[in-house]
Structure 1
């Protein structure tokens, strides 16, 4: 009897040990499968949805502070994608002075079928310009010059008589040509702009914003003829009936810039402007590294004879990009 009891207990112990081994084996198997599944899931997730690196786009506001500008209004954009990188009162109403002439040149190019067409300068084209102390390219009444020469006369020395000559030839009068300018502004989305003349001479109803001017310049630079003119330092008009030796124009911006350069780039072109009401103004294009940038500034104190604060602002902004 005692032997039977011992045998029964022995069988129970063996059965319990067997159950424990089974439980341990099942637990180990499930752990292995779960771990393997997690590894496979992680690998599949990484293959299907690779991680996207954070943008390396620099924060330009860290390098450029609008408080450093002498100009009361300014905007910096990247040419390729129109990204605004710095702005200061960019939507505030301002007077554009001779920055107006960028629109004059663009509209003239788009409405001239032949840039080599000869245009005759008349006395009427000078009416009121000398009295307003407008800048001149140097053409004379009775002179016959090509349209392309007038375009350079507008952009480089900021010649008011060149503006009027183009306007009269293309539209019959400056008034009619200004309608084309306002129409173009509307097409480009320059919603806070209105032109009264082709020259930028002051008028209360002749206004814009630096934001609108950036829109204008970015679109104008897509026109090859405009870009060529805008980025030219020096241009020689061939001999005419009034200038047998021709005339040589120099860009007012490059003259004021002198030999100054910017870090890791160059200023490619620009247009200056000034009236008492507008202050010193500048629209410029620069290449820094592999990118092109447009900077519009207006409202800097000073005049033609003072320190050129609009040029100083351009150097500050473009150098800030080059030093990033």
Structure 2
């Protein structure tokens, strides 16, 4: 009888040790800030940063309720820790922040960024009707893929999105399928795209947390980073623009000085629709470290004060105080 009790006691101790080891192992996965997802589009397995590792609102000394934006998240790039968040998992409309996904999918799917792509007249008629923002290319213009990518990110050109989407996917909807596949692969669990431009659609939504995952991933690509951090860019000559076109980044256009205390704002992508409000995905470097800030839902429009940019200055300047 005594031996039986000892065996039962040892069994319980062994079971307890196994549970502790398993829990500890799972905790280590989360705390290391790494999550692994299989790209269902058939590409290689990617290591994607998890943004659930650390949460600390004390890293920024301004109350989050003082932000103009209804949704915000601040992430430190090197360890993927969340330093501040406000309604970060609430559904939002991304407006032109959609184009971050459009650009990174196009970069990864195009083997030759010097390839010329035709922009057919039929595409422009639909964009004119939708009053979409355009980079300045003309119907039937032949444009290098790399120039279309800069046209997507700097002046937020919808014709550049459709041109690349049609060329890569065969149609915009086929390309959007690749965007949604990428979102799943990255763990953007509250995101669904219906177009490549960010034009308003009730079924086209995301969260600022999902967008921070996307931007953190995209910035690992050198081509994307170069485009995202460019303030100006001049395209190659085309059949419609023999001297090329010079773009200016819509964020930098509204910034007198990108310098912040201890660093500078390196790049950004603005977005706006009436339903989405003023949005901004930005990258800053401060005291030798890089930070991503994604905000959405600020009141205003293209003609008003740019409250999305005001929020970026406020957060980045107070960071670490």
- Taking structure 1 as the reference length, what is the TM-score of the superposition? 0.80
List, as ranges, runs of 4+ consecutive aligned residues in structure 1 with deviation greater than 6 Å. Answer: none
Q: State the SS of the aligned residue for 1:144.
A: strand
Distance change >3 Å, CA 62–CA 102, structure 1 → 2: closer
The residue that corresponds to 1:53 in the other structure is none
Aligned counterparts of 1:105 and 1:191: Cα–Cα separation in 2: 20
The residue that corresponds to 1:108 in the other structure is 106
How far does residue 261 in structure 1 lie from its aligned partner after superposition?
2.6
RMSD: 1.4
Contact 2:57 2:84 in 1 (8 A): no
Aligned counterparts of 2:265 and 2:253: Cα–Cα separation in 1: 12
Q: State the SS of the aligned residue for 1:211.
A: helix
How far does residue 68 in structure 1 lie from its aligned partner after superposition?
1.5
CA deviation string 1:76-106 (max 9, x = no partner): 0001111000000000000000000000000
Q: Do structure 1's residue 180 and structure 2's residue 178 form an aligned pair?
A: yes
Q: State the SS of the aligned residue for 1:130.
A: helix
Q: Do structure 1's residue 72 and structure 2's residue 70 form an aligned pair?
A: yes
Q: Do structure 1's residue 224 and structure 2's residue 257 form an aligned pair?
A: no
Unaligned stretches of 5+ residues in structure 2 = 1-55
Distance change >3 Å, CA 75–CA 62, structure 1 → 2: closer
Which stretch has the larger CA shift, 124-133 or 310-319? 124-133
Q: State the SS of the aligned residue for 2:260.
A: coil
For residues 208-287 of structure 1, what are the structure 2 equivalents within 5 Å? 208-259=206-257, 261-287=259-285
Distance change >3 Å, CA 289–CA 122, structure 1 → 2: same
Contact 2:169 2:175 in 1 (8 A): yes
How far does residue 259 in structure 1 lie from its aligned partner after superposition?
2.3
Equivalent residue pairs, number: 267
Aligned counterparts of 1:81 and 1:294: Cα–Cα separation in 2: 12
For residues 88-127 of structure 1, what are the structure 2 equivalents within 5 Å? 88-127=86-125
How far does residue 65 in structure 1 lie from its aligned partner after superposition?
2.0
Aligned counterparts of 1:167 and 1:59: Cα–Cα separation in 2: 39
The residue that corresponds to 2:61 in the other structure is 63
Higher helix share: 1
The residue that corresponds to 1:12 in the other structure is none
How far does residue 125 in structure 1 lie from its aligned partner after superposition?
1.9
Q: State the SS of the aligned residue for 1:252.
A: coil
Unaligned stretches of 5+ residues in structure 1 = 1-57
Q: Alignment partner for residue 167 of structure 1, among 155, 162, 165?
A: 165
Contact 1:265 1:287 in 2 (8 A): yes
Q: State the SS of the aligned residue for 1:127.
A: helix
Aligned counterparts of 2:78 and 2:318: Cα–Cα separation in 1: 19
Contact 1:60 1:321 in 2 (8 A): no
Contact 2:234 2:245 in 1 (8 A): yes
Contact 1:150 1:166 in 2 (8 A): yes
> Considering only CA atoms, is the larger Rg found in Structure 1 or Structure 2?
1
The residue that corresponds to 2:318 in the other structure is 320
Q: State the SS of the aligned residue for 2:269.
A: strand
How far does residue 260 in structure 1 lie from its aligned partner after superposition?
5.0
Q: Alignment partner for residue 192 of structure 1, among 182, 190, 193?
A: 190
Aligned counterparts of 1:159 and 1:71: Cα–Cα separation in 2: 24
Q: State the SS of the aligned residue for 1:129.
A: helix
Q: Do structure 1's residue 86 and structure 2's residue 84 form an aligned pair?
A: yes
Q: Alignment partner for residue 290 of structure 1, among 264, 288, 291?
A: 288
Aligned counterparts of 2:130 and 2:57: Cα–Cα separation in 1: 44
Contact 1:77 1:83 in 2 (8 A): yes
